[in-house]
Structure 1
Amino acid sequence: MEIKTIQIKLQDRSWEQISLVNDNGMVVTFMEFGGIITEIIVPDRDGKKENVVLAYKDPEQYLTNPGYLGALIGRVAGRVQGAAFEIEDKVYHLDANEGDNNLHGGETGFHHVLWNIDTFVRDSELGAKLTYRSKAGEEGFPGNLDVEVTYTVNNNNQFVIDYRYVSDQKTPVTLTNHTYFNLSGAAKHTIHNQELKIDSNCFLELDNQLIPTGRLIEVEDTSFDFRKLSRLDRGFHYDYFQNKVANGGYDHYFLFNDEKHGSAVMRDESSGRILIVETNQPGVVMYTSNNLPEGLELTEGKTDKYFGVCLETQGSPASLHHANLPSILCEAGEKMHKQTTFTFEIEKH
């Protein structure tokens, strides 16, 4: 096992890029800026090791990062309707950075934070602890929020993200990671033929602004039924109105059947790679890069529609306006812990 660190130098600033390498040669690389994941290198069925996440070719792109590639997202992942919410009869107004709404915590959300990093090596795992204090009023959110995110890689080819946080005032929090997966390796193919299974019987309806209406729709007899492994492109050209509002794909919150142990499986037949996602988050946003800005230079080619899929395990910000969803409110002094594990396996011939 090994931890490698290099300095990324830009015109007016620099930051560290850290690689976590296990005994099998699996590599997870991230930056202290935004906690951004730029590489997850795992083998295919023939032993060829390739990057299975999207990353910009030029690090300067991360200063704006319009697609939120690989980033830690917070305080609140997703869209907050009207960039406002109410707690105990007091209305809080947030940065409206996407039309009238707040997206992914605002313009200077956690994806633009320079995190403090402490690395560690243990018997069969290694990792890094990322810490940050989000001060009261930052982006309009109440309370001083202390956040600790730990990235761990072990010798079972698992990448674990632990989110721990505590606030001195009642405040909404739901953190996630916005990595785009493409299991073909080096983004050789789009995700059309890659398959996904989600342990979910229902998803949240979206309006034309991609804001959840609060209505839960059963997946049965729709293009959102991923209870068995199904190709991702089943909804790309489907006439279903929910695929249409997402620009011909998915950008939807699936509520797990077990809110304390959710799971999803992604499979790429061409490479034999399998990704298993397990979490204690209540749901997952599945986003198939339908609105990813096109033509941005990546380490492998240029961005295009359906180039990757995000599996954003999280609570839903819609719970701030709809009481039928699991709450994302964190009480003052309440110590919260959420975890998501990404396990990489190989399917033999």
Structure 2
Amino acid sequence: MRHLGLRASASSPCRVRVRPCASAPPLSPSRLQQRVTFPATAVRATRASSPHHRLDAVRHNDAEAIPERLAVVTGANKGVGLEVCRQLALQGVTVILTARDEKRGKDATETLRHESQLPNIIFHQLDIRDDDGVTSLAWYIKNRYGKLDILVNNAAVSGIVADEEGLKALNIDAETWTSGRAANLLKEVFQNANDEALNCLNTNYYGCKRVTEALLPLLKLSTSGARIVNASSLASELKRMPNEKLRNDLSNIDVWDEDRIEAVLNTFLEDLKSGRLEEAGWPMMLPAYSVSKMVINLYTRIMARRYPEMRINCVRPGFVKTDINWNLGVLTPEQGARGPVMLALLPDDGPTGCYFDQTEMVNVW
């Protein structure tokens, strides 16, 4: 794996000059299909009859009330997402912390606002799988702030039903886990359930796409330069894809758009249902999660080509000790947040369409 040596600290924006990775002309928007329903990219009014979607704020006329930089972080009530909110707020960014669970999200926000003395943290409930919830967030931002500068797509699920006691009993070390060599051991404690896999794809890929498309009109109005950061994973790296043809195809950005990504995901789900994952050459360690992150990398590159004026990148936070890996990780959330925060604060001439392993740019295609 070739590291290109781009580093930054968590306490300061990245100060680098790197030729952008995405230089091809923009792609034409593709037609979205029916497997999962998406919201329109334009911001729509929420349903007035639903108290859950009713706005609690109106646009501020006072220009001083509009923050210089405004960020949205998804899946942010704990772990890396919560730490990303904290580190961005420490840099003076106004942060909208979003979470699916309203109580947990509000509690996390109050902790940051009071215990960490960060008044520039705001909570908004968001389930990224829900069209109405995503539209409500976009409408709230449009009416209160009129623009968005940073989007960190952090929310994700593992796509696996795990026997947690059996997993702990295996006592797998970090190097075995991250190398992928644990796949055979994990067959005893992991179950690739169809419903969990579908939820994983709907959250990790379609949810990311749903939020991004809904907030794009506001990102285009950014006054400081729009930044999109998509959380990826070591499991996304193409060397982990046994299917050689698909591995080669995934490395060729020129042939991909959202329709083709969806076709691949549909094929994956069909192979899962028919018990053909290994035979068809899909990754066998966290298969739905791995595939979802591979296509997140693709989607990041597609969007970077389509919107060259923005800085759009994906990042592996590292093997962080969080719920998504059953707390088997070795890094702290503070360490895991450094890469996403660095990319959220990139300068205007920073890289775009690239993959980062924590704070290092890595060539994984």
TM-score strictly above 0.5: no
Greater share of helix residues, 1 or 2? Answer: 2
TM-score, length-scaled by structure 2 = 0.28
